[in-house]
Amino acid sequence: MSEIERYIAPQAVVEAVKAMAAGPVTILAGGTDLTPQINEGRRKHAATLMNIQRLEGLKDISLVDGEIRIGTLVTVTEIRYNALLTESATILCDTANCFASEQIRNAATIGGNICNASPAGDMIIPLLVLGASVELTSWKDDALFVRREAMKDFFKSPGKTTRQDNELLTAVIFDKPSADFVGKFRKSGPRPALEISTVTVGIGGDLKDGVFKNVRVAFGAVGPTPMRGTATEAALEGQSLNKDVIQAATEAARKDATPIDDIRATTWYRDHLIGVFTEELLNNVC
């Protein structure tokens, strides 16, 4: 394997994106995906390695003009214990609590989980349920250029997103959920955490007077990318969560998902789990 020829650790986003505009750069955040991928020969690195841990302004969780903004360098542990998220977007904290071990959670960043773009990336599921967008920053025409893209459109195939090589993911942003918002997450595996997901399901929406509205459903590890369950959402939108509606949603979830056989589970088992988890979460929503 080729050697790393240059190591940089900028402090300002502008320096980082200028370096990315100048030529190929491999970005290192917590390193919990990148390091094993390089060590095992599954990933090639560029001649320049850029450690982004020192970048200023990317480690905060804030509420501005009704939007919650999570900087790309916020760790899974910080999400788990954050007061604003605990109060208004508990589904993110619950998911963080099912993520790996304490040691990995302390290093793993939200941006790394998103940019690794695994179909089994856990933190992506609650973010899809919250209707989040990614913020991508680059250096263009001698100025900082910032664009947003809805996460539902961001993932293209395993490990691939619409992010261009010169774009740094700087934050993930979503509207603060309403007081009526309820969000639930379920991950497969005999242990609550330390499992690479074979199936994950996230469901959220506003529950008022027994009616479920603005529903979003997301599935992980049942297709080439993390995905929204549009048929499941349609089966639930504006409905009371009675037995018939839950059964219709469970059937729709099985149609939304396109699981494959792989080393961790068969198609049959994944299909079965999708139905079981969808039903279980909906029974727990009310």
Pairing mode, strands 133-140 and 143-150: antiparallel
Stretch binding ligand FAD (CB under 6 A), from 32-40, 81-89, 221-229, 230-238: 32-40
One residue of 9, 18, 31, 149 binding ligand FAD per CB under 6 A: 31
- Where in 162-221 is the site for ligand FAD (CB under 6 A)? 168-169
* Residue where the block lists tokens 């691939």: 160
Between residues 123 and 207, which has the closer beta carbon with respect to ligand FAD?
Answer: 123
- Shortest Å distance, C-beta 52 to ligand FAD: 6
Q: Which stretch binds ligand FAD (CB under 6 A): 33-41, 150-158, 228-236, 262-270?
A: 33-41
Is 100 a binding residue for ligand FAD by CB under 6 A? The answer is yes
278, 203 Cβ separation under 8 angstroms: yes
Give the DSSP H or E segment for 6. strand 6-8
What secondary structure letter does DSSP report for 152? Answer: G
Q: From CA 68, how far away is CA 174, in angstroms rounded?
A: 5
Q: Fill in the per-residue mask, 56 to 75: x = in contact with ligand FAD (CB under 6 A), - = not in contact.
A: ----------------x---
As measured in angstroms, the least distance from the Cβ of 242 to ligand FAD is 34
**Nearest-approach distance from CB 247 to ligand FAD, in angstroms:** 30
Among 17, 48, 94, 111, binds ligand FAD (CB under 6 A): 111
Binding mask 118-157 for ligand FAD (x = CB under 6 A): ---xx-----------------------------------
229 binds ligand FAD (CB under 6 A): no
In degrees, rounded to 5, the angle at the alpha carbon of residue 134 between the alpha carbons of residues 130 and 138 is: 170
- How does DSSP classify residue 99? S
Residue 235 CB, shortest distance to ligand FAD, in Å, is 27
Q: With CA atoms as reference, report the closest residue to 234 among 219, 249, 251.
A: 249
Cβ neighbour number for residue 193 with a 10 Å cutoff: 16
* Residue 24 beta carbon to ligand FAD: minimum distance, rounded to whole angstroms: 11
The token duo for 168 is 């740094």
Dist. CA 268–CA 150, nearest whole Å: 31
Q: Residue 139 or 212: which CB sits closer to ligand FAD?
A: 139
Q: Are the C-beta atoms of residues 95 and 185 closer than 8 Å to each other?
A: yes
Grouping H, G, I as helix, E, B as strand and the rest as coil, residue 137 is: strand
Q: Which residues contact 143 (CB under 8 A, 6 or more apart)?
A: none
Q: Which residues bind ligand FAD (CB under 6 A)?
A: 26-34, 36, 52, 72, 99-100, 104, 107-109, 111-113, 115-116, 121-122, 168-169
